[in-house]
Structure 1
Amino acid sequence: MCASLSATYISGLDENLSPHIINDRENLGSLTMPALVVVGRHDVICGVRWAEELHRLIPGSDLLILENSGHFGHLEEPETFSRAVTRFVTAR
């Protein structure tokens, strides 16, 4: 794991209504199945920075950045999304 990464994400609240923090980045390097990371260039929820991090941490992953999409790239660029997923799945 890169020493400069210290962010976590919140999955909900615990029994005391405090954020339940999870950081499973260290496990991503042990993944052995094919992975396609898809992100919309204009996604303000899970943006390109996060997709690039996933891509770096998952061995052999592919990264697709949908240039004209936000968070719903499969709806905003369905043809590009479908072609990429089909290519990814059939190449395995």
Structure 2
Amino acid sequence: MDGDLSPDVIDDRADLGSLTVPTLVVVGRHDIICGVRWAEELHLLIPGSEQLILENSGHFGHLEEPEAFAQAVTRFVTAVNSRDN
């Protein structure tokens, strides 16, 4: 909130193209808070990013599909580590 207690809008999209860290964008197909449309935008704006859509999840994919989430994160981290070595 700003000084007038109005929502403070933060839009960092212009900076996403300068990211150099490995990035996995994870979204639930049924997420009504930060849905697939936003995940796709992040994925397109972050160079070299990967995207995972959890087909049976909403906003809490790590709880709703924990095995799929953990497998994807493990695969991603393993791949990043093997590239860096």
Shared fold (TM-score, shorter chain, > 0.5): yes
Aligned partner of residue 22 in structure 1, secondary structure:
coil
2:25 aligned with 1:37: yes
Aligned positions, number: 80
Deviation above 4 Å: which 4+ runs of structure 1? none
**2:67 match:** 79
Q: Which has the higher contact order (CA 8 A, sep 6+)?
A: 2
**1:69 match:** 57
Bigger proportion of residues as helix: 2
Equivalent residues in 2 for 1:53-68, closer than 5 Å:
53-68=41-56
- Distance (whole Å) between structure 2 residues aligned to residue 27 and residue 52 of structure 1: 16
| Structure 2 residue runs without a partner (length 5+) | 81-85
| Structure 1 residue runs without a partner (length 5+) | 1-12
Instruction: State TM-score, norm by structure 1.
Output: 0.85
- Distance (whole Å) between structure 2 residues aligned to residue 83 and residue 68 of structure 1: 15
Shift of 1:65: 0.0
2:8 to 14, 20, 37: 20
2:39 to 13, 26, 51: 51
